[in-house]
Each structure stands twice: as C-alpha cells, then as structure tokens.
C-alpha cells in the first residue's frame, strides 16, 4: 500500500531526539529550531515526560469519558494555576483543528448565531469549520465553503469597528491567532486585541483566541493574548500542550455553560494524554520555561535584528520570523543540508523559528553562527557570479 502523498518530504529520516537536537539514521545530529512544527515545548524526549507517560501506560492508557477520570481534573487544576485562568473550564480533544472546531461550535450554541469573523492570512486547521475560517482557498473543499465566515484585514481597527457596527448582532464569534503562525509570524497589535475584547463584550460575541501555535508559553507569556492584558472567552490549545503527544483542548470562560452531550469525543482527555500534558505543565512550571522563552527569545530577536541581509525580523518569545531576500533563497535549504539545522517557513519567503522553550543560549548562538556563515556564503556566491 502507498502512503497518500500530501507532504513534500525532505530526504531525511529522524530516528532519535533529545532536548533541542534530533539525529538521522546515519548518525547526523541536527539542531531543531522548528520544534517539530511548534510542537516541542519542553524538549524532545524529556525524562520526566517519558517517565510520566510510561508509568501511566502501565496503569491504564484509555477508558471512555463515561467514567470518572481524576487525572483530567488534576490536569485542569495544574493548567489553571499555570495559565492563571482559575475560573475557566477545560474540554479536551486531540488536535488543534478539533479544538477550534469545538470552540466555534460552542460559540454558536452559546449565542445562537452563525456569522464568524476571521482575519486575512489566518490558519486555524483543516476540519470543516476550522478550515472555513482559514484564509487559504486552496485547502477549502467545496463542501467546507460557507457564507457564514468573513475575513477582515488583520490589525485594521476601523474595518473591525465598521463590521461590528453593521453586523454586530449577527456575529457568533471572532477567532484570531495572537501571533499568526502559518501566515508568517504576524503579531496582532495589543490595541487590536483590546478592541476585539471591547466589541465582543458589547455585542455578546464570543472571543476565541487560537493559541494552538502561539500559546503554551511560546510567546513569553502563557497565552500570546496575555500580552494585551485581556481575557478571551475561549482559548484553543494543542501543539505544545503534549510536547508531541497528540492532545488539544479548549479553555472556556465561566459564563459559557455546559449541557450534557453538547460536545463530546471518544479519545479526548484520555489518561495517557492527560499524563503527557501534566508532565509538560510540571516542567514548564518547575523550570520557569515561560520566563526563559521570553528572555532567550529577546536575545535571539535582537541578534537577528543586527543582520542587515535578512529583513523584517519580528515575533515574541520563541516565535520569531524574518524575511529572506531572493538573493538568499537557498538559506533554509542550506541551513538544513549543510548546517544540519531545522527551521520552519511561511510562503513565500519567511523563515519561522519555533524551538523548544528550554533551548539554551549556547544552542541559539550555534544557530546564529551557522546562519551568518550561510548568509556570507550565499552573498559571496552572488558577488562572484556578478564579477564573472
């Protein structure tokens, strides 16, 4: 049987991982500045995380949500103390798309409305509603196409105010990434987030913060929207939540009430996923990883800003992007195949950095030195081509 061919693959097989490094089947070591797609929060194969999963595996991996699962409550308690949303409620799922799917559905149940405001360049996942609020027509199948979604320009306060003025009473939810990831590391301005909060409150619209990529400490605060000192009504989470164990969830404000069977899932909140998620939070808390992400992220951002050849360095914490001019178009490829460093990208020309929250300064310096080396190499190649 063939694999369904949807991923253009790098010709590399990773067989081992530890901290911020991974190794291929030939024994080559790579620095992971991509965090395996923004997923690795506490470092690959963290000892506490593997032990906690292993211990849970020997007790019970799964039993349905029809019984009491105390480890779910344990996770909810730990999460509320780490993210400081004590009065919120947790509903667990298995992925980011599923988290957004449930968030949007719950919003619609809550206010009995249909319209959703999303933003240009947004990415919220690939399931039906999640993809409908994603600004990429090439991944929206005809069956997912809906007139209920409007895309407004990102960070455009007058456009948002005008839309609310005209349609405020019809809007069910506004969904936004505090920092757009797939869209190219675009930070929502604090004023824009605060305006969303004000308008949502005024019109009884549900404010959904998609923190799947930018949350869980990545931005230097637990949620990226915390930088704006506001509370969303629903936070969606996944990626860093399990450090590679597939798990997602939504945090729901207390004014949104539950009803039996309004949401549900077979696998969401299983014992094993809860053990993995607890281990992540325990390490984040014990090792002050959010503060560390903020500090090491500013160091990385400042150092990148000193490099004239790369443009528009931006981001928060350890979610950083920069644009690569045409003359350096092989930079990402060379970093991977020559320097053995994984980075992320956003089309057309952005390199995205999403390393583990506990990446060390030494590893960051390793990245910066390799980056400069490749910039010099590609620039000198260009100069010698001009001189010939």
Ligand X SMILES: Cc1ncc(COP(=O)(O)O)c(C=O)c1O
Q: Which residues lie near ligand X (CB under 6 A)? A: 95-97, 100, 123-125, 177, 181-182, 210, 212-213, 238
Strand partners, 115: 171
Q: Which is nearer to ligand X, 78 or 218 (CB)?
A: 218
In the complex, the smallest distance separating the C-beta of residue 97 from ligand X, rounded to whole angstroms, is 3
How far is it, in rounded angstroms, from Cα 98 to Cα 92?
Answer: 9
How far is it, in rounded angstroms, from Cα 297 to Cα 224?
Answer: 14
Q: Which is nearer to ligand X, 115 or 218 (CB)?
A: 218
In the complex, the smallest distance separating the C-beta of residue 272 from ligand X, rounded to whole angstroms, is 17
Q: Which is nearer to ligand X, 125 or 370 (CB)?
A: 125
Pure H helices in 96-252: 96-111, 128-132, 157-167, 190-203
How far is it, in rounded angstroms, from Cα 239 to Cα 121?
Answer: 20
Q: Which residue is nearest to ligand X (CB)?
A: 96
Residues 6+ apart with CB under 8 A from 92: 72, 75, 247, 248, 249, 265, 268, 269, 273, 274
- What number of CA atoms fall less than 13 Å from residue 167's CA on the CB side? 18
Pairing of strands 319-323, 311-316: antiparallel
In the complex, the smallest distance separating the C-beta of residue 98 from ligand X, rounded to whole angstroms, is 7
Pairing of strands 234-237, 248-252: antiparallel
In the complex, the smallest distance separating the C-beta of residue 374 from ligand X, rounded to whole angstroms, is 26
Q: What is the DSSP letter of 182?
A: T
In the complex, the smallest distance separating the C-beta of residue 241 from ligand X, rounded to whole angstroms, is 10
* Tokens 């951002």, located at residue: 301
Q: Which sign, positive or negative, has the C-alpha torsion 261, 264, 270, 273? A: negative
Q: Which is nearer to ligand X, 214 or 371 (CB)?
A: 214
CB burial of 123-138 (b: ≥16 within 10 Å; e: otherwise) equals bbbbbbbbbbbbbeee
Q: Which two tokens stand for residue 309?
A: 């050849």
Asked if residue 123 lies in contact with residue 139, where contact means CB atoms within 8 angstroms, the answer is no
Asked if residue 60 lies in contact with residue 71, where contact means CB atoms within 8 angstroms, the answer is no
Q: Which phi and psi angles does 353 have, rounded to 5°?
A: -110, 125
In the complex, the smallest distance separating the C-beta of residue 214 from ligand X, rounded to whole angstroms, is 7
Q: Which is nearer to ligand X, 224 or 271 (CB)?
A: 224
In the complex, the smallest distance separating the C-beta of residue 260 from ligand X, rounded to whole angstroms, is 26
Q: What is the DSSP letter of 124?
A: -
In the complex, the smallest distance separating the C-beta of residue 212 from ligand X, rounded to whole angstroms, is 4
Q: Which is nearer to ligand X, 90 or 99 (CB)?
A: 99
In the complex, the smallest distance separating the C-beta of residue 122 from ligand X, rounded to whole angstroms, is 8
In the complex, the smallest distance separating the C-beta of residue 379 from ligand X, rounded to whole angstroms, is 32
Pairing of strands 14-18, 186-187: unpaired
How far is it, in rounded angstroms, from Cα 175 to Cα 122?
Answer: 9
Q: Which is nearer to ligand X, 210 or 363 (CB)?
A: 210
Cα angle value 381/386/388 (rounded, 5°):
95
């Amino acid at each position: 049987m063939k694999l369904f061919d949807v991923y253009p693959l790098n010709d590399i097989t990773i067989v081992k991982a530890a901290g911020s490094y991974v190794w291929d089947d030939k024994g080559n070591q790579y620095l992971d500045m991509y965090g395996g797609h923004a997923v690795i929060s506490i470092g690959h194969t963290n000892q506490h995380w593997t032990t906690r999963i292993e211990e849970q595996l020997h007790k019970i991996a799964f039993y349905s949500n029809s019984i009491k699962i105390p480890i779910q409550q344990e996770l909810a308690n730990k999460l509320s103390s780490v993210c400081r949303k004590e009065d919120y409620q947790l509903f667990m799922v298995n992925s980011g798309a599923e988290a957004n799917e449930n968030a949007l559905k719950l919003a619609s149940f809550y206010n009995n409305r249909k319209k959703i405001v999303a933003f240009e360049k947004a990415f919220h996942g690939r399931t039906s509603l999640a993809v409908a609020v994603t600004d990429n027509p090439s991944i929206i199948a005809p069956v997912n196409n809906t007139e209920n979604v409007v895309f407004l320009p990102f960070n455009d306060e007058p456009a948002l105010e005008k839309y609310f003025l005209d349609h405020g009473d019809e809007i069910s939810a506004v969904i936004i990434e505090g920092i757009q990831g797939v869209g190219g590391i675009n930070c929502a301005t604090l004023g824009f987030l605060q305006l969303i909060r004000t308008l949502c409150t005024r019109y009884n619209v549900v404010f959904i913060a998609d923190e799947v990529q930018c949350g869980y400490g990545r931005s230097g605060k637990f949620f990226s929207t915390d930088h704006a000192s506001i509370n969303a009504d629903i936070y969606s989470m996944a990626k860093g939540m399990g450090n590679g164990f597939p798990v997602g969830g939504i945090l729901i404000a207390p004014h949104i009430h539950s009803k039996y069977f309004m949401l549900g899932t077979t696998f969401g909140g299983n014992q094993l996923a809860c053990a993995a998620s607890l281990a992540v939070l325990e390490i984040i808390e014990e090792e002050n990883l959010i503060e560390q992400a903020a500090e090491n992220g500013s160091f990385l951002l400042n150092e990148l800003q000193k490099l004239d050849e790369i443009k528009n360095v931006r981001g928060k914490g350890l979610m950083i992007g920069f644009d690569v001019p045409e003359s350096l178009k092989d930079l990402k490829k060379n970093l991977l195949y020559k320097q053995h460093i994984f980075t992320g990208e956003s089309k057309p020309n952005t390199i995205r950095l999403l390393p583990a929250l506990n990446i060390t300064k030494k590893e960051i310096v390793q990245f910066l030195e390799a980056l400069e080396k490749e910039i010099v190499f590609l620039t000198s190649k260009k100069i010698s081509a001009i001189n010939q």
